[in-house]
Amino acid sequence: MMLDAPGTVARMSGAARRAEPPGRRLMRALRRRPGIARLGAIAALFGLWEIAARYWVDPMFLSPPSRVIGAIQTVFQTRGVPAALQITFWELAVAFALSVVIGLAVGLAVGLSRFSHRTFMPIIFLLYGTPQVTILPLFILYFGIGPASKIAFGVSHGIFPIIVTIVAGVQNIKPILMVSARSMGANRWQIFRWVIFPHMIPSFFAGMRLGMTGVLLGVLLAELYVSTAGIGYFTTLFTQNFDPTKLLGLISLLAAMAIVLNEFVRRAEVRFGRWREA
Amino acid sequence: MNGRSTRRDRIASRLVQLAFLVVLMTLWYLATTKWGVSHLLLPNPARVYDELRDVLGSGEFVPDLKITLTELAVAFALSSVGGITLGYVLSRSQYLIRAFEPLLAGVYSIPIILFLPLYVLFFGLGPASKIALGTTISFFPIVLNTIAGFGYVDRIYVVAARSMGASDFQLFRWVLLPAALPVILTGLRMGFTVALLSILGSETIASLAGLGHRIVHLAEAMETARMFAYIAFAVAIAASLNVIVTMLEAKGRR
């Protein structure tokens, strides 16, 4: 009888739904799918933007989304923009790869020994906590105004969250697992391969996601600060020319790039972070 | 492990930290005096110290600091009022949470620093564009944490309070607020930190005044020693603000 109950309810509500007026049925469908309300809100925002840009705001400062979407193609055809996007993408990729490699090495070195953990973690937290934007001019001074300074600045933002999550992941391994592996005669490499490594994977991917956020921030900050060929050059150009259509188009392209990169790393985190639950 | 050996360990790690600092300073000193690194790239530590004393003594930093702190205060006030209000309103219905939380979290994952050129176009080079950027960036952690704080209060407490006859205000004051406060305070601290970062960053990128602007100005004038002094000053200000905010958060949690 208990098993039967949900079915009865479903049948009853099915009958009730057929008797409802269509307006109420729409409301009910909306209630069950919050996604529709979300899309509605997004559409309303875009509508407001369109109206504001067409009728209220000076076209020197804001242009409507309909024109921006059309302008993305013109942005692509502007001389130098595809190359600039490519350069920015490479800066992001190289900075991210370097952050992951260095962060992993430092994180393991610091996390695997109690002594180095106690000694170096305060230093790492201190560096992580300092606002690195204040030393952005130094990066330009040392690495020049080309891609090298953007990569270095991106690494300086991406590396610390990776180190901190790797260390936390290594530290969170239950000591009993290490002890039992050792008592069953595992050597150092075997402990690393079969105990530490699998336990590290979830925090490794969590760190990669945070590191990607940091790298995006660092590279884009440095690009916006000074740039000769990257994307920052064109944002400055479009701003100074009061060309909001192209500026908004370029910003949407960059935002799309950031969303794709973030989503890529987030998917990897979900995919590889789940082994323990399975 | 007994007490003595942990104590010896702690002393050893302090010593290594100290040695790390000493080696760093020595290398810096040797690089500038013996190895002939240009003072335009790396100024002598003694000169940086002199410049820092001059900056602090002459009070030259006051106008810039005032501008940066004003921008920070306005941006943080706007984003915390807006973020907590919107977060509370959304958190009152599971439906609204499910509809809008993913939207806010999605926008939060875009690097909002990208809006800076746009804000410079809208609001000019003055403080307004920095305030706008700081507000936008700090709004998201605050609103998301407010939703998380108010929206996921255990229903049992709410039902229990209601069945004992609590009014709306009593429910808010004695159930929802105490349950949500720690999460909201964390959001406020995160918001404050990113607001400070983004304001310093946007001053560095495009501005007329402020600490970030002063550092860039000195970099462009190749006055590296004074720039190092200002960087040390800005880092110290940021660090002490962050310590104060963390302490306030810990205090508010109790």
| Partner residue opposite B234 with nearest CB, options A134, A138, A142 | A134
Nearest CA in chain B to A251: B114
Whether residue A175 lies within 8 A of chain B, CB to CB, comes out as: no
Mind listing the pLDDT tens digit for each residue in A183-195? 888 888 888 888 8
Which top CATH class is A73-272? mainly alpha
With tokens 């804000």, the residue in question is B119
Which residues of chain B are within 8 Å of residue A137 when distances are taken between CB atoms?
204, 215-216, 219, 227
The one-letter code for the residue type at B89 is V
Q: Would the pLDDT of A60 be above 80?
A: no
- The C-alpha of A21 sits at a distance from chain B's nearest C-alpha, in angstroms, of 22
CA–CA separation, B228 and B235 (whole Å): 10
| Partner residue opposite B235 with nearest CB, options A38, A134, A220 | A134
Neighbour count for residue A70 (Cβ, 10 Å): 13
Quick one: CA torsion of B238, B244, B246, B251, rounded to 10 degrees? -170
Nearest CA in chain B to A241: B121
Torsion sign (Cα): B4, B5, B11, B14: negative
**Least confident segment among A14-18, A118-122, B212-216:** A14-18
Neighbour count for residue A149 (Cβ, 10 Å): 25
CB-based contacts of B88: which residues, under 8 Å, 6+ apart?
B146, B150
Q: Would the pLDDT of A222 be above 80?
A: yes
Q: Looking at the whole model, is its pTM more than 0.95?
A: no
State residue B141's pLDDT score.
Answer: 92
Nearest CA in chain B to A34: B99
Domain ranges of chain A: 5-60, 73-272
State residue A19's pLDDT score.
Answer: 58
Q: What is the ipTM of this complex?
A: 0.80
Whether residue A251 lies within 8 A of chain B, CB to CB, comes out as: yes
Rounded to 5 degrees, φ, ψ at B36 are 70, 30
Query: Which one is predicted more confidently, A27 or A17?
Result: A27
Quick one: CA torsion of B47, B52, B57, B62, rounded to 10 degrees? 140
Query: Which one is predicted more confidently, A35 or B193?
Result: B193
SS in 3 state form for B209-243? CCHHHHHHHHHHCCCHHHHHHHHHHHHHHHHHHHH
Whether residue A137 lies within 8 A of chain B, CB to CB, comes out as: yes
CA–CA separation, B205 and A232 (whole Å): 10
Mind listing the pLDDT tens digit for each residue in A136-154? 888 888 888 888 999 999 9
In the stretch 125-144 of chain B, residues with CB closer than 8 A to chain A read none
Mind listing the pLDDT tens digit for each residue in A192-212? 888 887 878 888 888 888 898
| Partner residue opposite B95 with nearest CB, options A31, A136, A213 | A31
| Partner residue opposite A225 with nearest CB, options B12, B205, B242 | B205
CA–CA separation, B64 and A3 (whole Å): 71
**What are the average pLDDT values for consecutive 10-residue runs of chain B, which has 254 residues?**
67 83 84 75 82 84 88 94 92 84 84 85 86 93 91 84 86 85 89 90 85 86 86 88 86 75
Whether residue B179 lies within 8 A of chain A, CB to CB, comes out as: no
CA-based R_g, chain B, Å: 24
Which residues of chain B are within 8 Å of residue A255 when distances are taken between CB atoms?
110-111, 114
- The C-alpha of A135 sits at a distance from chain B's nearest C-alpha, in angstroms, of 7
State residue B3's pLDDT score.
Answer: 58
Angle at the Cα of B202 (from B199 to B208), degrees rounded to 5? 100
Whether A141 and B219 lie within 8 Å, measured CB to CB: yes
Nearest CA in chain B to A117: B13
Query: Which one is predicted more confidently, A79 or B188?
Result: B188
CA–CA separation, B173 and B155 (whole Å): 16
Print burial letters for B193-218: b (CB count within 10 Å at least 16), e (below 16). Answer: bbbbbbbbbbbbbbbebbbbbbbbbb
